DNA sequence: CAAGATTGATCTGTCAATCTTC
DNA sequence: GAAGATTGACAGATCAATCTTG
């Protein structure tokens, strides 16, 4: 992280010891490289970004392929503004369409089109294969459980922190 | 990931079972949210992005505060082009300066300035505190070791995959 | 007027093309 | 001519401001 003591930071900071430092670097590398690899895979194989793919995947899990923009933003960890730009793109490509929620005109529904379903169906196998290759198949089911638990603990910490908030 | 079977992807794909799916989602959430939280923390407390901070932190670890651009790119997981833009910014702010490597003019050295050291020293305590709060202090040292090992295994897989390559 | 959503300005990252040094 | 580095054009994300509906 920061072996900056010699630079004059003399405060009473609990610096990371070597063991902690190594663990932290491993995790920092993970969150960078794994993300990058999956972005590349989707870009190459499907011409979609990670978030575009996952937005469509989430829609496909709804019985009617429909979700409110604000709900979709929440499940994809995206800001509403980012999602709006992104859905504009997906709309231009014909994979999603938008309409005001009939039940409450303040909401906007994002709806996966038939072309969207087909795109997803064509893209999913390669993506799942990559997730297996890079993550799932690297572990026993016990280890996978550990990994899930440990990851969950960090995410809980984030949720409890002052940075839990996603952008506007 | 993609429960898209019903959308027509009938190929012989090994889809994720519920257990695997849950583990994968936990990791996918982790790599997104943790990164985001740390970006926010550094932005708020130091006005630096994650990668700007780490570029300076790596420089500070060298005895002379100096690293070749290509080496700095490698250790920060950045492309040379990204790093170049980024160092231009750091240079404008007075935290880093550049000069051709005296030993071999093809290389460019990035050098942390005194102002850069001071900036880092001022920024490090809050960042380390965040890393502790969100990650390190959430675990026993045994668990931290596990986390490091599990993360390392994924990174190894990425390195062995066709997506290991970083961009130009 | 508050919640949901969109838009436009701006900044950062990527990609391709270029420049320099050996 | 190839490795290291930079540059400029473009795509995508953020932030603040705005619009719309209840």
Give the model confidence (pLDDT) of B137-165 as tens digits.
999 999 999 999 999 999 999 999 988 76
Residues of A in contact with B2 (CB under 8 A): 57, 60, 120, 123-124, 127-128
CB-based contact B134 A161, cutoff 8 Å = yes
Sequence-distant (6+) residues with CB within 8 A of B25 are none
Closest Cα in chain B, distance from residue A113 (Å): 11
Q: Which nucleotide is nearest to B82 (CA to C1')?
A: C13
Interface test with A, best of B5, B6, B7, B112 (most A CBs within 10 A): B7
Maximum CA pair distance of chain A?
A: 63
- Given its phi and psi angles, is residue B47 left (phi above 0), alpha (psi -120 to 50 degrees) or beta? left
- pLDDT value at position A8? 47
- pLDDT value at position A10? 57
- pLDDT value at position B163? 85
Q: Give the count of beta carbons closer than 10 Å to the beta carbon of residue B108.
A: 16
Residues A99, A105: Cα–Cα separation, whole Å: 9
| Confidence at B167, pLDDT banded by 50, 70, 90 | low
What's the number of CA atoms in the CB half-sphere (13 Å) around residue B100? 5
* CA proximity to B158, closest of A32, A125, A42: A32
- pLDDT value at position B166? 67
- pLDDT value at position B82? 97
| Protein CB footprint (7 Å) on chain D nucleotides | 3-8, 12-17, 20-22
Kindly list the distances between the CA atom of residue B132 and the CA atoms of A11, A17, A28, A148, in Å, as whole numbers in the listed order.
Answer: 16, 11, 13, 20
Across chain B, where does the E strand assignment appear? 66-68, 96-100, 108-112
Residues of B in contact with A141 (CB under 8 A): 19
| Protein CB footprint (7 Å) on chain C nucleotides | 3-8, 12-17, 20-22
Mean pLDDT, rounded, of chain A: 92
**In the structure, how far is the CA atom of residue A82 from the C1' atom of nucleotide D12, in angstroms?**
9
Residues B108, B68: Cα–Cα separation, whole Å: 6
User: Out of B4, B13, B131, whose CB is closest to A120?
Assistant: B4
- pLDDT value at position A7? 45
Number of A/B CB contacts below 8 angstroms equals 241
Residues A55, B146: Cα–Cα separation, whole Å: 32
Burial annotation A39-73 (CB, 10 A radius, 16+ → b, else e): bbbbeeebebebbbbbbbbbbbeeeebbbbbeebb
- pLDDT value at position B134? 96
Mean pLDDT, rounded, of chain B: 92
Residues of A in contact with B166 (CB under 8 A): 36
| Confidence at A164, pLDDT banded by 50, 70, 90 | confident
What is the value of pTM for the model shown?
Answer: 0.90
Sequence-distant (6+) residues with CB within 8 A of B83 are B55, B69, B72, B73, B76
User: Are the beta carbons of A82 and A100 closer than 8 angstroms?
Assistant: no
pLDDT tens digit string along A52-105?
Answer: 999 999 999 999 999 999 999 999 989 999 999 999 999 999 999 999 999 999
- pLDDT value at position B34? 94
- pLDDT value at position B11? 63
pLDDT tens digit string along A16-31?
Answer: 999 999 999 999 999 9
**Residue % of chain B over a pLDDT of 90:** 87
User: Are the beta carbons of B90 and B96 closer than 8 angstroms?
Assistant: yes
Residues β-bridged to residue A99:
A109
Q: Which residue matches tokens 């040292």?
A: B141
Strand D closer than 7 Å to the CB of A105? Answer: yes
pLDDT tens digit string along B52-106?
Answer: 999 999 999 999 999 999 999 999 999 999 999 999 999 999 999 999 999 999 9
């Amino acid at each position: 992280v920061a072996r900056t003591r010699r630079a004059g930071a003399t405060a009473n900071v609990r610096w990371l010891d070597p063991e902690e430092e190594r663990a932290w670097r491993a995790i920092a590398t993970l969150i960078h490289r794994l993300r990058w690899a999956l972005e590349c895979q989707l870009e190459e194989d499907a011409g979609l970004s990670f978030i575009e793919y996952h937005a469509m995947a989430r829609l496909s899990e709804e019985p009617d392929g429909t979700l409110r923009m604000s709900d979709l933003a929440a499940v994809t960890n995206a800001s509403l503004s980012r999602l709006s730009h992104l859905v504009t793109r997906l709309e231009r490509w014909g994979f999603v369409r938008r309409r005001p929620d009939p039940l409450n005109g303040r909401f906007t529904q994002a709806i996966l089109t038939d072309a969207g379903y087909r795109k997803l169906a064509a893209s999913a196998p390669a993506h799942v294969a990559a997730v297996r290759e890079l993550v799932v198949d690297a572990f026993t089911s016990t280890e996978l459980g550990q990994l899930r638990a440990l990851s969950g603990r960090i995410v809980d910490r984030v949720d409890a922190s002052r940075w839990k908030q996603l952008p506007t």
